[in-house]
């Protein structure tokens, strides 16, 4: 069952400790739009299908980015799009939004999403080491589930 927008925002608001739903909404829309510009194909569509319709539209709407942004540049871009934000507050916004997004996806989808992004995004999603686990699985001849 697809999560509702209000429930998504409530989760972002709680994680980000925002004083209002409006601040959670602002952070969610900016972070999802920037993320959407960096994902393509099935992973983007599959992630969108697990989020509220409003999130899905924001995630699917952006044109692809001209070049991938590393995590530091993603933080700077987020800070630039949120009025009054600093890089420190942008990290907080990103963590609040992307950790809720990651909760809606299973580990397999998150690993595929992280493969599309430059190294370091696992930390932004609140899933440290998840990208490394994918690399380990690929190098294991028995695959992720063992023999």
Residue 141 in this model has a pLDDT that exceeds 70: no
Domains recognised in the chain with CATH numbers: 5-139 (1.10.490.110)
pLDDT range class, residue 133, cuts 50, 70, 90: low
Query: pTM higher than 0.95, yes or no?
Result: no
Confidence check: pLDDT of 40 > 70: yes
Tell me: pLDDT of 112 over 60.
Answer: yes
Please state, as a whole number, how many other Cβ atoms lie within 10 Å of the Cβ of residue 18. Answer: 19
Taking the C-alpha atoms of residue 96 and residue 107, their distance in angstroms, rounded to an integer, is 18
């Amino acid at each position: 069952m697809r999560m509702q927008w209000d429930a998504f925002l409530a989760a972002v608001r709680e994680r980000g400790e925002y004083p209002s739903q409006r601040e959670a909404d602002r952070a969610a829309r900016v972070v999802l739009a920037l993320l959407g510009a960096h994902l393509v194909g099935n992973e983007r569509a599959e992630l969108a299908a697990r989020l509220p319709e409003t999130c899905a539209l924001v995630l699917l709407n952006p044109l692809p980015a001209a070049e991938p942004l590393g995590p530091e540049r993603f933080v700077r871009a987020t800070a630039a799009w949120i009025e009054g934000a600093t890089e420190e507050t942008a990290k907080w916004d990103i963590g609040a939004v992307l950790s809720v997004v990651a909760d809606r996806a299973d580990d397999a989808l998150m690993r595929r999403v992280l493969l599309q992004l430059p190294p370091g995004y696992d930390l932004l999603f609140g899933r440290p080491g998840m990208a490394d686990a994918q690399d380990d699985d690929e190098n294991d001849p028995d695959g992720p589930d063992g023999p």
